[in-house]
A = this chain, B = another copy of it.
C-alpha cells in the first residue's frame, strides 16, 4: 500500500474546512482563523535511513532540512513561517554533542526563515527521527489552496528541478555524488518570498514539489478537478542534471519529474500574468523559474501529461516519490 492510499483511508478522521477552519486536511498546510487573522499549520517527519543517511548528511544538515521542508509547505500557502516546535526521537547512541549539532541546524534554518523554535519534546527511542511542526502567518491576500486551478490558467514552476534526485541516483549507482546536486538534498531551500509573490499575484492553486513534479501536479489536478499539459522543453532543470543522468544511462523524465525533494513551488496562475509572475518569483529568490504548461479540462485519461519535443506525450501522474515503496 502506498502513502497516498493510506492518506485516503485516514481522510475520514481528518477535518475538512468549516467554522474557523478555512482549509482542512489535504493541503500543504491547514489554515485556521484566529480572531481577525489566519494562521497555517503543517508537520513533517524525517527518519534516519528513510529521509536521510548519516553518511550523506551531517546532523546539522538534518536539522536544517527538517525546518526547511516545513517552511516549504508554508511557502506553498503564500504564508510566512512564525514559530516551530520539535519532537525528537533520540537513540541512546546519539550523544549530547550530536543532538546539539542537530539543534544548531534547526536553529540556523529557523533564523534563515525568520521563525522561532518555541519548544519541543525529546524522547528516547531506537531510531533517530524528528518531527517539526511550523505555524505560519497568512497574509491579507489569503492562503492559496491546491484546489483553485481553472482551465486556461498557466503553470509556473519556481526553483530548479532534479538536483536532489540526481545526486541520490549517483549514490545508488556507486558514483561519487556531485557536491552541488547533493547540497539540494542536504540543505533544501524553502521559497517563502516566491510563494508570497505568487499569492499576491493571484495564483489560483499552489503546492510545493516534494514528491516529484508528476505526483504533485497530479495532486493539484485532483484537488482542482482539472488536467494539465506540461512542455518538457520548458522545465527548469538544474544545471548539470542532464549530463549526469546521461552518463548514468538514466531516464531523465523519470528522475526530474518523479524524483522528489525539489522543494520548488508549482502554481497555477492567470495566463496573462504568467510570464511576469514567474520572473518576479524567480527573482525574489534568485532561482530559475518558468512557465511550464497550462491547465486544461479534466481529460478522460491521465490528468497530467508531459509533451516531449518529438511530439509524443508521457503520463506524468504515475511518477513520484513514495516513501512506503522502499
Contacts and interface: CB of A to CB of B under 8 A. Distances in A.
A233 interface: no
A25 B100 contact: no
Contacts of A36: 35-36
B127 A30 contact: no
Contacts of A124: 47, 50, 323-324, 326
Interface of A: 1, 3, 6-7, 9-10, 13-15, 20-21, 24-27, 29-30, 32, 34-37, 39, 41-47, 49-51, 82-83, 85-89, 96, 99-100, 103-104, 106-107, 116-127, 129, 131, 133, 135, 137, 323-324, 326
A99 B6 contact: yes
A76 to B, nearest CB: 13
Given A85-B133, A88-B45, A30 B96 contact: no
Contacts of A27: 119
A235 to B, nearest CB: 27
Nearest to A99: B6
Nearest to A31: B118
B125 A50 contact: yes
A210 B35 CA distance: 31
B6 A43 contact: no
Nearest to A96: B1
Nearest to A27: B119
Nearest to A14: B117
Given A9-B100, A10-B100, A125-B129, 20 more contacts: A7-B122, A9-B99, A15-B116, A15-B118, A21-B83, A24-B119, A25-B118, A32-B83, A34-B34, A34-B35, A35-B35, A37-B37, A42-B85, A43-B86, A43-B119, A45-B131, A87-B87, A123-B323, A124-B326, A129-B129
A25 B116 CA distance: 10
Given A87-B87, A127-B125, A120 B14 contact: yes
Contacts of A45: 87-89, 121-123, 131
